[in-house]
Amino acid sequence: MSKRLIGLLSLVGCLMLAGCGKEPQAQSDATKPPPVPKMVEPAKTAAPAMEAISTADLDQVPKSPKELKLALVVKTRNNPFFTPMIEAAEAEAKKLGVKLDVQAPPQESDKERQFALCQDVVAKGVDALLIAPADSKAIVPALKAAAEKGVLVVNVDNRVDAAAAQAAGLNLGGYVGADNEAGGKLAGEALVAKLGGKGKIAILEGIRGADNAESRKRGCEAAVKGKLEVVATESAEWDTKLAYDKMQSILAKHADLAGVFCANDKMALGAVKAIAEAGRKGQIAVVGYDNIADVKPLLSSNQMAATIEQHPDLMGKYAVRMAVGMLSGGLPKGRENLVKLDVVK
């Protein structure tokens, strides 16, 4: 090969290598691939609201034609609020010819133990689980597991969180309880009336995140808005001792406090004790919730202004009747019954 040809080939090779090192030309808009559209998650629809069923309809539920096993799992037996609920449920179960197993954790805040109790009763074999949740969201997986085994789930008193239930695909058989937001509003209105529409108040909440605690607080705040000034909101988790401690702290910070709403009567007992020890017995309007026996002397002695009666006996009675009616086929599922509320002074 001649030197001239070798030189020519070398030149061509260099030109080719130089071309490979160049950046590729940008594609024209006409040749660009269309942009990939972003995936838009479809909007979630709200879970359908339960239809109402009257006490008259529930009163028509006949004795069960077959042997049924029901379980009632409440928050605790240590809160006297649940005593009439349990007694009424047991009496109604006997009247309708069904068996009722009642279970409860030792403390109202022990949501883990309540979860385990639900698993235990389902494992033993029940036709229906009547549940008053300690935690509206945390209990959902246990209820979903029960429903998947064919157990009818009837929610009692404290509502199961609707969004958590929907996300888990849990369909409740029904609900029996009170309108807690309306009850909180009644409590707030009682404070407004007692204080003449002016003054500073505090709120002792239940367990944050629990439907009944949040609803009662929301109702009270709505009732006092623009009339009373809320200077403190503390969670005492339904507990008397914790409420006593929280109330002591509130009183130390707010010497001019005129009233307090306690989202249950057990907390009201603690608040009243702290108020008395601060030398302000009967000087601060205390409104509670549940109308347990222990607050009756406090109402008569003006250490409490009012409490809200939500009839736990009716909850127990009609929860059993609802379960039996649905299991026997006489009542459609997805119904709710709201018991009446009263202001007790």
Amino acid residing at 314 = L
Rounded mean pLDDT of the chain?
Answer: 90
pLDDT above 70 (res 42): no
pLDDT confidence tier of residue 88, bands split at 50, 70 and 90? very high
The secondary structure of the chain in percent helix, strand, coil, rounded to multiples of 5, reads 45, 15, 40
pLDDT in tens, 93-110: 999 999 999 999 999 999
157 versus 40: which is more confidently predicted? 157
pLDDT of residue 39: 35
pLDDT of residue 48: 59
Sheet containing 200-205: which strands, arranged edge to edge?
A: 229-235, 200-205, 257-262, 285-287
pLDDT of residue 13: 45
Average pLDDT over residues 34-49: 43
pLDDT of residue 11: 41
Residue written as token pair 């019954």: 337
Q: What is the CATH number of domain 51-177+312-339?
A: 3.40.50.2300
Share of the chain above pLDDT 70, in %: 86
User: Would the pTM count as exceeding 0.75?
Assistant: yes
Distance CA 307, CA 232 (A): 20
The architecture CATH gives domain 180-309: 3-Layer(aba) Sandwich (3.40)
pLDDT of residue 49: 80
pLDDT confidence tier of residue 214, bands split at 50, 70 and 90? very high
pLDDT in tens, 217-226: 999 999 999 9
Distance CA 300, CA 49 (A): 41
Please count the CA atoms within 13 angstroms of the CA of 97 that sit on its side-chain side.
Answer: 9
Domain boundary assignment for the chain: 51-177+312-339, 180-309
Average pLDDT over residues 317-344: 97
pLDDT above 50 (res 32): no
